[in-house]
Amino acid sequence: MNLMAMLTPALSLALVAALCLAGWRMIRGPSFVDRFIAIDMLTAIAVGFAALTTVATGRGVFLDIALGLALINFVATAAFSVFLERKRRDR
């Protein structure tokens, strides 16, 4: 368990770096699709953070949060794609 306590900060640092990179693409991304991809990526990183929090705190509730985030991620991706295709048809 001691080794795990040393590992958790390093892993959260890696995840924070990934979060910053995806967030930069979200801010910068030239088109709508790039922003949607960045949202997808940000949600995946959030699931990773939930998993890491489960290990760090020992509370199983955070796995439920991970499941909820995964569900929301899929619905959001589908909704954004439909929105983009409809936007294209409207023009």
- Residues at the contact surface with other proteins, assessed by CB under 8 A: 1, 3-4, 7, 11, 14-15, 17-19, 21-22, 24-25, 29-38, 40-41, 44-45, 47-48, 51-52, 54-55, 58, 60, 63-64, 66-67, 70-71, 73-74, 77-78, 80-82, 84-85, 87-88, 91
List the one residue out of 47, 30, 35 whose CA is nearest residue 83: 35
Q: Is 73 helix (H, G, I), strand (E, B) or coil?
A: helix
The least distance separating other proteins from the CB of residue 13, rounded to whole angstroms, comes to: 9
The least distance separating other proteins from the CB of residue 15, rounded to whole angstroms, comes to: 6
In this structure, how many other beta carbons lie within 10 angstroms of the beta carbon of residue 50? 19
Q: What is the spatial distance between Cα 64 and Cα 36, in angstroms, rounded to a whole number?
A: 24
**Which residues make Cβ contacts (< 8 Å) with residue 2, sequence separation at least 6?**
none
